[in-house]
Chain A
Amino acid sequence: MIARHLPDLKAAALVLPLVAFLAVFFLWPLASIFTTAVSDTEVSRAFPELGRAIDGWDGQAPTPAMQQALVADIRTTPQATMGDAVRRLNSQTSGFRSLFGRTQQAVARGTGPVDLVALDGRWADPLYWNTIRSALPPYTPRFLLSALDLQQGAEGIEVAGQSVHVQIFLRTLGISALVTGLCALIGVPFAMLMLATTGWVRNVLMASVLLPMWTSVLVRCTAWLIILQNDGVLSRILQTLGGLREAVPLLFTRSGVIIAMTHVMLPFMILSIYSVLIAMPKNLMPAAASMGANPIAAFRTVLLPLALPGIVSGGLLVFMTSLGFYILPALLGGGNDQLISSFVAEYAIRQANWPLASALGLILLIVTVVIFALYQRLSTRMAGA
């Protein structure tokens, strides 16, 4: 029995270290992004007693038990925790800050029970209690909603006042799609050219694909920074070609970012298409020509359909990678050319707004993983075929 399963056990023992390592240092971080994006303990941390007492309340008049639980919470919760909770509650129902300030002072004067309604008539109003109750659950969709510019309104989900994040998501998708398209547009003819050449010409073409791909992205950013400068090489070439008087601004513009992103991603597209074309029988194009197809018809009906899997898998790879770009737009783009990653980093590092950073990151992650799964399926099917 044991002997039959021995190979399985051995395999499992070999794979186990990597599984354990990735579980702790890869899957746990991703899981904690998820929990940070949906967890909301600001209020529940401040009101542990009230959280228990408010259970089963009918939503009408506040019960005495709830009132005394609130008093107990005000006495035991640290000032900073309570401050965060009150700020949050005040953002939902204005007036909370003054109500709490007054109540805290009165509660601090004694140690016994306090009649809250007598202290301030507002405590008789179920509105304030309902606000606390609605903020008590430890999980909330509001960060995810706010990452999509939505908010929880009185009548379900509604569109928040200003559109910030959706615009950035659309910009990220648009720029990535454009870069993918440009890569395909340059990549297909280039891969065909590589296929048509032999000897040292093909080696030169191959080297000019591989060398940039192996070169650090930072080095390529440095190079593009030099080329795109206002007095830089490209600006001057464009000026001469176009017969323009003024220098063409390229650095810190959308065009500059797209040119440099295309340069970074192009080698992946070319290699993906080339690897499909090189596996194709050599005599297909001559065969098409001998049957009377002109070069364009042969390209359209023979080569392009055969190259399509390579274009699609290369496109998915380019698109997926482009979605996560951070360094390049940060160095070469202006304020309006930043992609979603910049906002994740901004919320996390500068503002320490971890829930919102996590929510935005989670959406980016989900989109990326779906594309990656498609890419994997396609490439394993291509390898199997």
Chain B
Amino acid sequence: MGAIKTVWGILCVLFLMGPLIVVLPIAFNAGGFVSFPIQGWSLRWFAVLFGDPGWRLSIWNSLIVGLASSALATMLGTLAALGLRGRVGVPVVLARMVFLLPMATPAVVLGVGMQLIYARLGLGSTYAGLIIGHAVLSIPFTLLSVTAALASVDRGVERAAASLGAPPPTVLWLVTLPMALPGIVTGFVFAFANSLDEVVLTIFLAGPNQRTLARQMFLQLRDNLSPAIAAAAFTFIIATICIGITGLWLQHRRKRMMA
């Protein structure tokens, strides 16, 4: 029984982690093929990734769109989470359901719909349009994260501040928001990661100048597979691990603060 469990566990971990591990060495392949065996070690594909104007533009675009859309989603999500805090009733439940709906909507469907209205609003192939689109998709992440953070903020501390004479805006600014900050940052990080990975909506909404890293990777994966893709994937995985560790650290800090 124990042996079966061990083998099963190892097989599952291999299935889950194997793909991520396989992609790493290919990024350093000196040859031009995206396959094993490795023909020699080199950093040339990273030079392509960060040197080629097309790839460079797409990296910048991903950063611009990611930061702007996450900021927008975090702002809107935080305000709404503050408004909905501690409220019950049918309208609140319905509102929350609608706010979370972008998470469930198939990206292709939203892409078609947004392109239809962008044609009328003149937002097609603009940075503003792309940023708004990514923000719509990120709002559930920020709302959920800030809502969870606010739920764990002790009302007693806020009441204590108010009883000591702090007006409501001061309580919000000096007590509530600092205590919810880890949740707000977590929401921002999730939103950013989500935007970085977004392809489908970008295909519908972005023009050639707004091509993001994910979009560029998708095109390259479909059309001509080069180890530059593996280099991009390597960069993504390292960035993911960094973001993940930051997230865990923030959670840990929040738990310690609450304790």
Name the residue of chain B whose CB is nearest to the CB of A30.
B113
**Interface residue? B87 (CB, 8 A):** yes
Chain A: CB-nearest residue to B109: A361
Asked whether, in the complex, the Cβ of B104 is within 8 Å of the Cβ of A215, the reply is no
Cβ–Cβ contact B197 & A218, under 8 A: yes
- A331 touching B109 by the CB < 8 A rule? no
In the complex, A314 has a CB within 8 A of chain B: no
B19 near A263 with CB under 8 A, answer yes
User: When A223-B19, A345-B203, A376-B97 are in contact, do A320 and B104 touch as well, CB less than 8 Å?
Assistant: yes
In the complex, A233→B236 CA distance in Å? 22
Binds A, one of B47-55, B157-165, B175-183, B217-225: B217-225
Q: Contact mask B210-228 → A, CB, 8 Å, 1/0?
A: 0000100110011001000
> B13–A204 contact, CB under 8 A?
yes
In whole angstroms, what is the CA distance A33 to B240 when docked?
35
The contact of A15 among B84, B196, B236, by CB within 8 Å, is B84
Question: When chains A and B are docked, how far (Å) is the Cα of A209 from the Cα of B15?
Answer: 10
Closest-CB distance, A198 to chain B (whole angstroms): 13
Report the Cα distance A344→B110, complex, angstroms.
11
The tally of CB-CB contacts under 8 A between chains A and B is: 239
Residues of chain A within 8 A (CB-CB) of B111 are 345, 348
Q: Which residues of B contact A67 (CB under 8 A)?
A: none
Pick the contact of A223: B22, B106, B107 (CB < 8 A): B22
Query: A123 in the interface, Cβ–Cβ < 8 Å?
Result: no
The answer to whether B16 touches A344, judged by C-beta atoms less than 8 angstroms apart, is: no
CA distance in complex: A69, B257 (Å) = 78
Chain A proximity of B116: nearest CB distance (Å): 5
CB <8 Å contact, A214 and B236: no
A92 at the interface (CB under 8 A from B): no
Given the interface contacts A223-B19, A345-B108, does A216 sit within 8 Å of B240 by beta carbon? Answer: yes
CA distance A295 to B237 in the complex (A): 40
Bound-state Cα–Cα, A29 to B114, Å: 5
Main secondary structure of the interface of B (DSSP, over half): helix
Q: Find out whether the CB atom of A358 lies under 8 angstroms from the CB atom of B112.
A: yes
Query: Shortest distance in angstroms between B249's beta carbon and chain A's nearest beta carbon?
Result: 14
* A211→B109 contact, CB < 8 A: no
Whether A118 is near chain B, meaning CB under 8 Å from some CB there, is: no
Q: How far is the CB of B33 from chain A (nearest CB, A)?
A: 10
Q: Mark B92-116, 1 if CB is under 8 A from A, else 0.
A: 0101011111101111111111111
A211 touches B99 (CB 8 A): no
Closest to A212 in B: B16
- B-side contacts of A372, CB under 8 Å: 101, 104
Q: A18-B80, A33-B113 are in contact. Are A25 and B136 (CB under 8 A)?
A: yes
A32 touches B18 (CB 8 A): no
Whether A357 sits at the interface, judged by CB under 8 Å, is yes
Contacts of A324 in B (CB 8 A): 105-109
Q: Determine if B112 and A227 form an interchain contact, defined as CB atoms under 8 angstroms apart.
A: no
Cα separation A373 to B98 with both chains bound (whole Å): 10
A365 to B110, CA, bound (A): 9
Q: A365, B116: Cβ atoms under 8 Å?
A: no
Residues of B within 8 A of A215 (CB): 20, 236-237, 240
- The answer to whether A18 and B112 touch (CB under 8 A), given A225-B221, A226-B23, A226-B35, is no
Interchain CA distance A354-B111 in the complex, whole Å: 12
Q: How far is the CA of A372 from the CA of B107 in the complex (A)?
A: 15
Q: Please give, as numbers and ranges, the residues of chain B lying within 8 Å of A211 by CB-CB distance.
A: 16-17, 20, 240-241, 244
Question: Which candidate, A134-142, A188-196, A302-310, is the interface stretch facing chain B?
Answer: A188-196
Q: Is the CB of A212 within 8 A of B106?
A: no
> Once the chains bind, are A331 and B221 in contact (CB under 8 Å)?
yes
Give chain B residues whose Cβ lies under 8 Å from the Cβ of A224. Answer: 19
Q: Are A208 and B17 in contact (CB under 8 A)?
A: yes
Given A14-B83, A224-B19, A364-B106, A331:B218 Cβ within 8 A? yes
Which B residue sits closest to A36, measured CB to CB? B116
In B117-171, which residues have CB < 8 Å from any A CB? 117, 132-133, 135-136, 139, 143
**Residues A368 and B104 in contact, CB atoms below 8 Å apart:** yes
CB neighbours (8 Å) of B93 from chain A are 380
Given contacts A11-B84, A222-B233, contact A341 B106 (CB under 8 A): yes
> Would you call B197 and A216 a contact (CB within 8 A)?
yes
Kindly state whether residue B34 has any CB partner on chain A within 8 Å. yes
Could you say which residues of chain A place their CB within 8 Å of the CB of B83?
A: 10-15
Q: Given the known A-B contacts A33-B113, A205-B13, are A216 and B236 also in contact in the complex, defined by CB atoms under 8 Å?
A: yes
Does A323 sit at the interface, judged by CB under 8 A?
yes
Highest count of chain A CB atoms <10 Å: which of B98, B100, B105: B105
Q: Does residue B43 face the partner (Cβ distance < 8 Å to A)? A: no
Q: Is A220 interfacial (CB-CB < 8 Å)?
A: yes
B244 lies within 8 A of A214 (CB): yes
* B233 and A219 form a contact (CB under 8 A): yes
User: What 0/1 readout, one digit per residue, does chain A (153-177) give for beta carbons within 8 Å of chain B?
Assistant: 0000000000000000000000000
**Contacts beyond the supplied A21-B76, A341-B200, A372-B104: 10 A-B pairs with Cβ under 8 Å:** A18-B139, A22-B102, A25-B114, A216-B236, A225-B225, A227-B22, A326-B108, A331-B222, A358-B116, A361-B109
A contact set with B: CB distance below 8 Å: 10-15, 17-19, 21-22, 25-33, 36, 186, 189-190, 193, 196-197, 204-205, 208-212, 214-227, 229, 231-233, 263, 266-267, 295, 320, 323-324, 326-327, 330-331, 341, 344-345, 348-349, 354, 357-358, 361-362, 364-365, 368-369, 371-373, 375-376, 380
Residues of B within 8 A of A (CB): 1, 5, 8-9, 12-13, 15-20, 22-23, 26, 34-36, 76-77, 79-80, 82-84, 87, 93, 95, 97-102, 104-117, 132-133, 135-136, 139, 143, 193, 196-197, 199-200, 203-204, 214, 217-218, 221-222, 225, 229-230, 233, 236-237, 240-241, 243-244
Task: Provide a sorted-by-A list of 17 A–B residue pairs whose CB atoms are within 8 angstroms.
Answer: A27-B98, A28-B117, A190-B8, A211-B20, A214-B193, A214-B240, A218-B199, A219-B23, A219-B233, A225-B34, A227-B22, A324-B106, A326-B108, A331-B222, A341-B106, A348-B115, A368-B106
